[in-house]
Structure 1
Amino acid sequence: MEITRMQHASRITRLTALALGITGALAIGQAHASGFQIRENSVKNLGRAFSGSTVAQNDASVVANNPAAMVNIDRVTVQADASVIDLTADFEGGGTTALGTPLNGGDGGDPGDASAVPAMAVVIPLSGSLERMTVGASVSAPFGLKTEYDSNWVGRYNAIESDVKTINLTLSAAVEVTERFSVGIGLMYQRAEVTLTNAIDIGTQACVGSGNPANCFNPAFPYRPQANDALVEVSGDDNGIGWIIGAQWRPTDSLSLGFSHRSEIDHDLEGDADFSSSNAAAQVILATNPGLRDGKISAPLTTPSVTTFSAQYDINDSFRLMADVQATDWHSLEAVNIYRPDGSSLGHEAFDWEDTMLYSLGGEYDINDSFTVRAGVALDETPTNDLARTPRLPDQDRNIFSLGMTWNVSEQLSVDAAFMRIEIEETKVNVLSSSRSRLVGEFDGYANVFGVAAQYRF
């Protein structure tokens, strides 16, 4: 066995593992919105399939969705929303190692556990000389995921655990320019945290890198394909600043139009790469090869901008129709580059994501002063494609159906509930892993989203 060739092969493994790992974690979604976008900051919006989000009435979530619409609220309002996203996905398929031999392992189980997405907002109309101004604050999660496959599944070299969290603190202000037109602006402070794991097939890399691939089938050789796995865990975090602007116009008493644009936010994730194995032979490679040792890393990340147009038409005093068209600029995630502290590159992986559109239509009906019911449908496009899709994002276009209601308990207190069903088109995966294995198969999946909220008006 030639040690230098083994080290070279291990180095290639290390570079690709880190790049694919971070790329995958930032790409994967919880299968409830395109990419890893989260729109569940309002249970009212959830019940309308996200329609009318920038012209919403009596909904404090407009602090983060369209600051200009805060003028629709005439009293100090505090709101808390909580949504639970339950993803179910099944994989069917297999693959081959770098040698062309079959991958072993199971189907990974159901990677999507139920995940809670909380949000809070407060809106404060000002008085006196500032009576045309409204201010607000909100805490929400615009992007995120939590998925985990079985550690010994057939696609373990592509993904095992992925955990991405972003938290936004938004401070907004709105001005009612006229009785029919308002503008708003907000400042966003975003916290991003990423943790992910995947396996590395050190056995295959070592025997191929020995200079004699026949060693892979030699029982006396200490490294065997899929028998000397290591685990890489990559984690990082960062804070960033962004902004949101918006406008709302009521050309007639029955029609309201809204617009908002949320900016990109740049991050430079800083953290660690940790390599480990319970296999004695793999531990030798980890201990003797500098390329597979623990160390600091950094990776630039830009969360995409989002532009939304909304309309609401009041059929009468009790019945309202809403629509949204939303564009998410995923081209900001063209690639992920990973660096050491000295600035040297550890890898480059292309995203090749496309910008996406969401089209939604919904309605509300006031049964009486105490109860309002709502429903909606939507089409949500995926940013990924057949050439770039990985099991970290078994993503495809989604058809969305939702129901919701509001109970006005009193003049001050209201309670909301909503249910959303997300049907995901059959998704094909054909992708190389960091260990040069190829995973081929199909994912079938769907997601259920349950939401409850409470609002108090002082």
Structure 2
Amino acid sequence: MKKLFTTFIFLAAASVSWANGYQVLLQAARAIAMGNIGVPFATSSSVFWNPGALGIARHSTVEIGFAPIFSRVQYYASDIPNSTYTAETDNPIGTPFYLYAVWAREESPLRLAIGVYTPYGSSVNWESGWRGDVLLDEIGLESVYVQPTIAYKLTDKLSIGGGVVYAIGFVNLQRQLPISSEDVDPSVELNGNASGWGYNLGILFQPSQRWSIGLNYRSKVSMTLKDGDATFAVPQSLRVYFPEGNTFDTTLPLPDNIALGVAWHTNERLTLAAQVTRTGWNAYKELAFDFAINTDRLQDTHSPRNYENSYSYNVGAEYALNPVFTLRAGYYFDESPVRDGYLTPETPSSDRNNFTAGVGIAVTEQLNVDLSFLYISAKERTQTQEDVEQAGTYDPETGEQGALPGTYRFNAFIPGISISYKFNVRQ
């Protein structure tokens, strides 16, 4: 029994780890539509994509937008011979958003800006009573980054910039407990607020009017969560082991990113672009939970994740159809950072193909509306019993389990919209 409850807490740590590890790169409709490429361009969203590019921004601009996420995960018990068991999620709509404000004057090489955006966030809600409910019923994460930024144009061809990031995170996790009871539905709910600091640096080089090359580095942010609430619903006979008012501390590492992007303005109408990004997921060696009150059945835990660094490869294009409409399209390939044996219901991660499209509408010289669409098709991924045993996420002797064998499928579609307004356009 002691090992049973220790295993449960281990799994809770793993799921919170996934929630913060789920990166949501939906920070500008124009970038999304062009294969999620933003590093080699100077726009208001450069606050996120590449602060160095702001050095050549010509106008003071305010941009606001969001990209609602419609996603579904399916599970098939392929580890059970001749099984027809399936389950799927009924996820609420995710609503990542962004707001950028840039101050710029053509006569000054200095640019000031601020951004508020949501680069991490997720929501997974499995159907009631599904096979893996002791691993997860539902989880929700919302994160908000606030980034004041400064940029400087060194020459007509080179600009640099950077910003300080303050991150705030909110986590809610709910799951069933693997115990029998006629009095209550054994479950737990974990709630916590986290915060951390980081930075965002960038440089943009334009060797000619037709070419631009951008380099961006976003640092790791260690989200510190203190005094999170752990609320247990257990039979009266077990409440002594799960005291009311218990809290926990942990640190949630959000990985760093380094991206290189190139844009080629082939003529006045057509622009081609490419970008490659490395995400430092190897920051997830383990995640530890420190409970304020320990009992024989509730101990501090160390949850191994052993993620590996991953890359994404992006290509995109935009074509100015006329002075009002600009057409965009792109594609990018995302590698999964999750190793075999560590795949969980919280992170049904696999290599993904991403297809994008969109249109820019110049309503006036000052007002622009950008629309985007992203379709994510994840490769079907199967995890075997042998995988979890070799990874150590399942112990056949004790029955302790941190990952669920089976086959996972994932897809999502994400429309997006942004509105931007330029303030100092000469009429």
Query: TM-score if structure 1 supplies the norm length?
Result: 0.83
The answer to whether residue 126 in structure 2 is matched with residue 141 in structure 1 is no
Q: 2:55 aligns with which of 51, 60, 71?
A: 71
- Map of 1:290-301 to 2, 5 A cutoff? 290-291=241-242, 295-301=246-252
Contact 2:90–2:125 (CA<8 Å) still a contact in 1? Answer: yes
* Counterpart secondary structure, 1:357: strand
TM-score in terms of structure 2 length: 0.89
The structure 1 residue matched to 2:400, chosen from 420, 428, 436, is 436
* One of 398, 401, 416 as aligned partner of 1:451: 416
Deviations 1:136-164 (A, max 9, x none): 11110111111111231111011111111
Deviation per CA, 1:69-114: give whole Å up to 9, x if none. 1133211100011101111221111779xxxxx9x99744324332
**Partner amino acid for 2:45?**
S
Determine which of 290, 295, 300 is the counterpart of 1:346. 300
- C-alpha deviation, 1:414, in angstroms: 0.7
Aligned to 2:35: 49
Pick from 256, 261, 265: which aligns with 1:305? Answer: 256
1:275 matched residue in structure 2: 232
SS in 2 for 1:201: coil
Residue matched to 1:256: 212
Give the match's secondary structure for 2:95.
strand
Query: Percent identity of the aligned residues?
Result: 24
Amino acid at match of 2:418: A
SS at match of 2:209: coil
Structure 1 residue 284 displacement after superposition? 3.1
1:123 aligns to 2:102 (yes or no):
yes
The offset of 1:445, in angstroms, is 2.1
Mind listing any 5+ residue stretches in structure 2 that lack a counterpart? none
The letter of the residue matching 1:273 is A
2:412 & 2:370 partners in 1: Cα distance?
20
Aligned positions of 1:19-418 closer than 5 A: 19-28=10-19, 35-51=21-37, 53-57=38-42, 59-93=43-77, 107-126=86-105, 131-203=108-180, 230-270=186-226, 271-277=228-234, 283-287=235-239, 289-291=240-242, 295-341=246-292, 346-418=300-372
SS in structure 1 at match of 2:91 = coil
What secondary structure, in the 3-state scheme, does the structure 2 residue paired with 1:112 have? coil
Alignment partners' CA distance in 1, 2:290 and 2:144:
25
Which amino acid in 1 is paired with 2:317? G
Cα pair distance change 1:439/1:303, threshold 3 Å:
closer
Instruction: Name the Cα RMSD after superposition.
Output: 2.5
Paired residue secondary structure (1:387)? coil
For 2:44, the aligned partner's letter is: A
What displacement does 1:14 show?
A: 3.0
Q: Secondary structure at the match of 1:115?
A: coil
CA distance in 2: counterparts of 1:26 and 1:295, whole angstroms: 20
Contact between 2:72 and 2:88, CA under 8 Å: does it hold in 1?
no
Name the residue aligned to 1:216: none
Larger Rg: 1
Tell me if structure 1 keeps the 8 A contact 2:7–2:400: no
- Residues 315 and 189 of structure 1, relative CA distance in 2, 3 Å threshold: same
Q: Is the 8 A contact 2:56 2:153 kept in 1?
A: no
| SS state at 1:399 partner | strand
Name the count of aligned residue pairs. Answer: 407
Asked if the contact 1:166/1:190 (under 8 Å) is kept, the reply is yes
Structure 1: unaligned runs, 5 residues or longer: 1-8, 30-34, 97-101, 204-222, 278-282
CA distance in 1, matches of 2:32, 2:13: 30
Q: Over residues 32-67 of structure 1, what are the superposed CA-to-partner deviations in whole Å (9 max), with x where a residue is unaligned?
A: xxx50011010001101112x11224x211112111
